[in-house]
Structure formats: C-alpha cells, structure tokens
C-alpha cells in the first residue's frame, strides 16, 4: 500500500506540465480542434500534461502570455503572431529552436517546413518561431455571379487589369452587388503587403530594421487600392470591415473578396452558391504575404519543459496533424510532407481550393514585421486608412509613415 502510494507520487512528480496560450483570428470552432489534437498528444504522452488556453485574438494572446511571464506563472510555449518575433527577442522572452533541438531527427524536423513560412520566424541567423496556423491571402469569388456577368467562372482574373475589368462587370449599378472587397480594417497592412509584392516591392528588410513605405512601387500599390473604389468604382468607398466581410461575401453583396485562407472551411460550409478560390492576381507577378501564428518556446522554462514543449510542437506540426488541421480550418499544411498524406491528398483532389494557398507559397513573402512592430504596423495602418477612407493622397501619407518609421527604427540599426 505504502509502496504503491510512493510510486504514484513518484509518477505524479515526474509529470511535466505545460501551459500553452493560443489565439484564434478567424471564424469557426477552432478551439475544439486544438483541444482534440492536444488530447491525442496527452494520450500518447501520459507523462506530459498540457494546459492549452484559448487567449482571444493575436494581440490578446501576446498580452496574456507576456503578462503570465512577468507574473512568474509563465507559459512554456505559445502560439503567437509570427510577426511578434522581434518584440519577443527584444524582451528576451523566447529561445531559438536551434538551441532546443538536439537529435538529428529533431534537426531534420526543423528543416521540414515550407521556406516561405519560415521567413517570419527567422532572424539573427536562427529560427525562433515554427509555423502552425499559417495562412496566405486568397481570392474567394462567386462563380454564379461570374457566370451571370458573362465571365468565365473557371478563369478568375490573373492581373490587376483583368481584376478591374471583371470588377466592372460584376458591380451592379443599383448597389446590390459590388465587384470586389479588400478589407481595410483589422489587418490593412497585411492586404497591402499583397498589393506591394504583386507590384514587385516588399515592405521591409529581413533584419526588421528598415521599412520601404514610400518606395514608388509601394505608393503605386496604394494608388491602385484607392482607385478600386474612387476611380474604377468596383469596391465600396470608406473602410471595409475585416470582421463582417465574410458575411458580405456569403450574402452575395460582393462577388470577390480577399481574405485569409483560414476562412476557407467556414465559407465552404456556409456558401449557398458555387464559389471558387484563386491565387491573388499580379502586376505582373502574383504575390501575397504569409500570415498567422507560430509556435514559440519561452526562455523561462526548465530544460525538461523545453524538451516537452518541443515534443508537443513536433506532434502538432507532424504531417498527420498538420493535414488534419489544414482540412478542418483552411490553414496551410505547414510542410510538404503534410500534402503527401493520403487524407490531405484526397481532400485536395475532391476540393481543389484547399491547395491554392499552398501553391501560392511560391509567390509569398514575409508579413510586415520589424522591431517596434506594433507601432510601425500602426503607422502603416493609419496611413492606409487615411488614403483609402480619408481622402489623403498616397504619397503624402506614405512619406509621413516612412519618416516616422525611420525615426522609430533608428536605435536598432
């Protein structure tokens, strides 16, 4: 009796417990899916106890994780915005995965992801974030509306000119249907990252110390965005709300929307019309930023905890779980191996939109991320909204944003 008690106490003591915060930024029952994967992990690893806490949107998740860190009740790992990397490094909150992986197998795992998804997780020559709920922007379009307007529903626009031409045909003069909507609240800089990449220019350098907001190609991209509503009149004027856009599309008030692939499964479930998903058009080359959340491991954890955290992250990003996650949400399967699983192969065959985001990775670039990222991002967001909704000229607002961003980033050079 005494011996069994001592034994069970010994087992309990050896149990490593992990706290993990994670955000949800798109619609759908994502918490349930995460809980399911975590439960599977605990079943396979009885010595590890995982406390997965849903923490709101990306901003909330970061606040909660950092607050927990400061209060001395830290999480050992978290899913946070991929672009939080510089802030987390500056706060000395995270460890590089290179310093946690030890076996050859683990090192190989770290190299197994799509390179485009690693861009936002790497700086200073190390990998700090491992992709999990990653997305790109894709173009959702209403095939029924395309047919009704006399457009080829299997041939969505591939260039900016084609996009404008299609938009004009799709816009109904009585205001009952718009040609297209690109959201300009929530994450305007993200949508803008797509337009600038398509126009052949990125928004920042890889060290996170320099922005290119007033580069002529960037200014041109903003002019195009603004023209969609002001000149071509294929998009409503004023800011377009990120949160309600999906409903606008589902209610057929817009024939095209640009949105995260993370919405794919929800759109699929709720669309009462024939819809398609396409890569974003180009001018001339296609382009999109990647987006979404990465896994981070916090520095303030013991070596056992770090090992256990790594195990959990490896489990959650394994081809099988990445495939499951991708099918249930629309996020990208994070590694090529995921798309080689039988399940995802069959899913992509029966539902081709599921592979669009992956194919688009060939044209993808990193999401806007710098030191002082919150402020820099806000500068660009404000500038974009001032031009799109506020009637200011793109040159004026972007010159101003660039000057301020340069000021902010001066100490990091």
For residue 374, state whether it binds other proteins (rule: CB under 8 A). yes
Name the minimum Å distance from CB 92 to other proteins: 4
Stretch that binds other proteins, among 111-119, 150-158, 203-211, 385-393 (CB under 8 A): 385-393
Instruction: Tell me if 367 contacts other proteins by CB under 8 A.
Output: no
* Contact flags string 289-328 toward other proteins, x per CB under 8 A: ----------------------------------------
> Taking Cα atoms as reference points, which of 47, 42, 38 lies closest to residue 20?
38
Question: Which residue's CB is nearer to other proteins, number 263 or number 321?
Answer: 263
Tell me: does residue 251 bind other proteins (CB under 8 A).
yes
* Site residues (CB under 8 A) for other proteins, limited to 12-71: 59, 63, 66
394 belongs to the binding site for other proteins (CB under 8 A): no
Indicate whether 244 belongs to the interface with other proteins (CB under 8 A).
yes
Phi and psi, residue 370, nearest 5°: -145, 175
Determine the distance from the C-alpha atom of residue 219 to the mean position of all C-alpha atoms in its chain, rounded to a whole number: 24
* Three-state secondary structure string covering 258-299: EEEHHHHHHHHHHCCCCEEEECCCECCCCCEEEEEEEEEEEC
The alpha-carbon radius of gyration of the chain (Å, integer) is 22
In DSSP notation, 147-198 reads HHTT--TTS---BHHHHHHHHHHH--TTSS-EEEE---SSSHHHHHHHHHHH
Q: Using the 8-state DSSP alphabet, how is residue 301 labeled?
A: S
Report the chain's terminal Cα–Cα distance, integer Å.
65
How far, in Å, CA of 181 to CA of 227, rounded?
Answer: 13
Q: Are 365 and 202 in contact (CB under 8 A)?
A: yes
Nearer of residues 186 and 193 to other proteins, judged by Cβ? 186
Cα–Cα distance for residue pair 166/154, rounded to 1 Å = 13
Q: Could you give the count of Cα atoms lying within 13 Å of 38 in the half-sphere of its Cβ?
A: 20
Asked if 129 is part of the footprint of other proteins (rule: CB under 8 A), the reply reads no
Closest contact distance (angstroms) between CB of 236 and other proteins is: 6
Which tokens hold the place of 231? 């000149």
Instruction: Check residue 240 for interaction with other proteins (CB under 8 A).
Output: yes
Q: Cβ 385 to other proteins, closest distance in Å?
A: 4
Site string for other proteins, 159-198 (x = CB under 8 A): ----------------x--x-----xxx------------
Establish if 407 lies at the interface with other proteins (CB under 8 A).
no
| 396 interacts with other proteins by CB under 8 A | no
Query: For residue 289, how many C-alpha atoms fall within 13 Å in the half-sphere facing its CB?
Result: 24
Residue 208 binds other proteins (CB under 8 A)? no
In angstroms, give the least distance from the CB of 176 to other proteins.
8
Nearer to other proteins, 109 or 178 (CB): 178
Interface residues with other proteins (CB under 8 A) are: 59, 63, 66, 87, 90-92, 175, 178, 184-186, 236-241, 243-244, 247-248, 251, 253-254, 372, 374-375, 378, 381-383, 385-386, 388-390, 411
């Amino acid at each position: 009796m005494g011996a069994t008690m001592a034994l069970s106490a010994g087992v309990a003591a050896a149990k490593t417990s992990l706290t993990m915060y994670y955000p949800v930024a798109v619609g759908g029952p994502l918490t349930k899916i995460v809980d399911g994967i975590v439960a599977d992990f605990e079943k396979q690893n009885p010595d590890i106890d995982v406390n997965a806490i849903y923490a709101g949107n990306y901003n909330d998740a970061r606040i909660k994780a950092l607050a927990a860190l400061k209060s001395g009740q830290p999480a050992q790992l978290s899913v946070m915005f991929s672009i939080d990397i510089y802030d987390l490094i500056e706060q000395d909150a995270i460890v590089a995965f290179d310093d946690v992986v030890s076996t050859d197998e683990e090192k190989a795992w770290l190299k197994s992801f799509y390179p485009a998804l690693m861009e936002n997780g790497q700086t200073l020559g190390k990998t700090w974030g491992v992709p999990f709920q990653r997305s790109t922007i894709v173009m959702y379009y209403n095939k029924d509306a395309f047919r009704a307007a006399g457009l080829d529903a299997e041939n969505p626009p591939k260039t900016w000119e084609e996009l404008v031409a299609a938009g004009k045909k799709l816009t109904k003069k009585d205001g009952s249907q718009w040609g297209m909507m690109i959201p300009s609240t929530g994450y305007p800089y993200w949508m803008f990252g797509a337009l600038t990449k398509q126009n052949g220019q990125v928004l920042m350098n890889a060290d996170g110390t320099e922005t290119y907001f007033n580069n002529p190609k960037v200014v041109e991209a903003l002019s195009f965005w603004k023209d969609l509503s002001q000149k071509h009149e294929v998009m409503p004027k004023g800011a377009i709300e990120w949160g309600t856009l999906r409903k606008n599309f589902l209610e057929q008030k817009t024939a095209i929307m640009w949105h995260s692939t993370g919405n794919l499964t929800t759109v699929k479930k709720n669309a009462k019309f024939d819809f398609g998903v396409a890569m974003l058009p180009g001018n001339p080359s296609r382009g999109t930023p990647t987006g979404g959340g990465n896994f981070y491991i916090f520095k303030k954890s013991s070596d056992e905890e770090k090992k256990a955290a790594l195990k959990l992250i490896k489990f959650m990003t394994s081809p099988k779980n990445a495939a499951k996650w991708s099918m249930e949400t629309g996020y990208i399967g994070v590694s090529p191996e995921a798309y080689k699983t039988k399940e995802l192969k069959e899913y992509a065959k029966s539902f081709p939109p599921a592979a669009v985001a992956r194919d688009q990775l060939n044209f993808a670039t990193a999401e806007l991320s710098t030191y002082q990222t919150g402020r820099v991002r806000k500068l660009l967001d404000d500038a974009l909204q001032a031009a799109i909704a506020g009637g200011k000229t793109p040159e004026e607002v972007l010159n101003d944003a660039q000057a301020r961003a340069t000021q902010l980033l001066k100490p990091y050079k």
